[in-house]
Copies of this chain bind each other. A is one copy, B any other.
Amino acid sequence: MPNTAKPPAPGNASLEKGLALFNRIAQDHGQTPLKTLAADMGLPRSTLYRLTGALEQAGLIARLRHRHYTIGLPLAQALHGITPAGQLALLCRPALRQLARACGAAAHLGVMENDMVTYLVKENAATLPAGFSISRENTQLEAYCSGIGKVLLAWLPEAERARYLAGGPFVAMTERTITDPQRLRQTLESVQAQQFARDDGEIADDLYCLAVPLWAGGQPPTAAISLSFPRHAHQPQDDSSHLARLRACAAQLSAQIFP
C-alpha cells in the first residue's frame, strides 16, 4: 500500500532536479559538499552550480563560507510559525470532517509525543451529542488505552516499545482498561497483524473506537486516524464498513500528504 510511486511526470526535468537539490540541501542544512551531491544525483558540477545559483536567487538557500549552504532568510521568514504538526492537521482536517459526517462518528488525527498521544484534529459529526468524547484538540491522552495510541505503539521500533512497556504503571481508566504490560504487548502485536486497533471502552465507559495508521512512504507510521462512537449504540456488524471507510481515508491522506 505504501510506495505511491507516481508516474514519471514528464515535462519539467529541470525544475525537478532543482527541487531535488533543494531537498538534499534542506535535509542536512547544507553540510554535504557539492561534489558528493554531484555524484549522488548523477549531475555534472556545472549544472549543480547553476541550480544552486537559482535556488539562492529565489531565497530558498543561502551560502555561508565555502561548501556550506543553509536555508535562506526569505524562506525562513515565509515559513515562520509553520510546524509539522500544524501542517499535518491542516491537510487532514477536510478529509476527517467528511469521514466523520459519513460515519456519524467523531474522527481524530493523533501523533505520539513523549509517550502520550496528542490529538491534532477532532471532527465531530453533527448527529453526535454535543461534546461527545473527552478528547480536545492539542491536548494529550495516555497512549496505552486509546486506539490511536495503540496503533502508534504497535509500529514503534522494538526497543522503543519495550521501553514504553517497562515504563508503566498503566492506570485503569475503566474496568476494561488493559493494565498488564504483557497483555498490552500481545494486543499491540495483534494490532500490527490486523493493521488496525480497537478501543472498546478502555478509556471511557461509553466510548468505542477504531484506529488505523497513516503511512509515510514505507517509514513506520508516526500519525494515525480514528473513528469514535458512543459504545452503547455500537453494532459489531458495522465495524467492517467503518473500517473500510477509515482505511480508504488513511490511504488517501497518506498519498496526498507524503509525496
The residues of B that contact A90 with a CB separation of less than 8 Å are 64, 70
Bound-state CA distance A79–B83 (Å) is 8
Interface check A65, CB cutoff 8 A: yes
A168 at the interface (CB under 8 A from B): no
Chain A binding site: helix, strand, loop or mixed by DSSP?
helix
Cβ contact of A72, chosen from B55, B76, B259, cutoff 8 A = B259
- A167 on the B face (CB < 8 A): no
Asked if residues A26 and B258 are in contact (CB atoms below 8 Å), the reply is no
Q: Is the CB of B76 within 8 A of A12?
A: no
A12-B18, A80-B84 given; A73·B91 CB < 8 A: yes
A186 within 8 A of partner (CB): no
Query: Residues 61-96 of chain A: 1 if any B CB is under 8 Å from the residue's CB, otherwise 0?
Result: 011110000111111111110111011101100100
Interface residues of A in 242-259 (CB under 8 A from B): 256-259
* Nearest neighbor of A217 in chain B, beta-carbon distance: B74
Copies of this chain assembled into the complex: 2
- CA A59 to CA B90, docked complex, whole Å: 15
Which of B16, B23, B59, B83 makes the CB contact (< 8 A) with A78?
B23
Count of interface residues, chain A, beta-carbon cutoff 8 Å: 52
B80 touching A83 by the CB < 8 A rule? yes
Least Cβ–Cβ distance between A42 and chain B, in angstroms: 17
Judge whether A129 is part of the interface by a CB distance below 8 angstroms.
no
A257 and B62 within 8 A (CB) = yes
Do B257 and A73 touch across chains, with their CB atoms under 8 A apart? yes
When distances are taken between beta carbons in the complex, the residues of chain B under 8 Å from A79 are: 26, 71, 75-76, 79, 82
- Which 9 residue pairs are nearest across A and B when measured between Cβ atoms? A19-B58, A15-B18, A26-B78, A59-B259, A76-B87, A14-B14, A15-B54, A76-B84, A77-B84
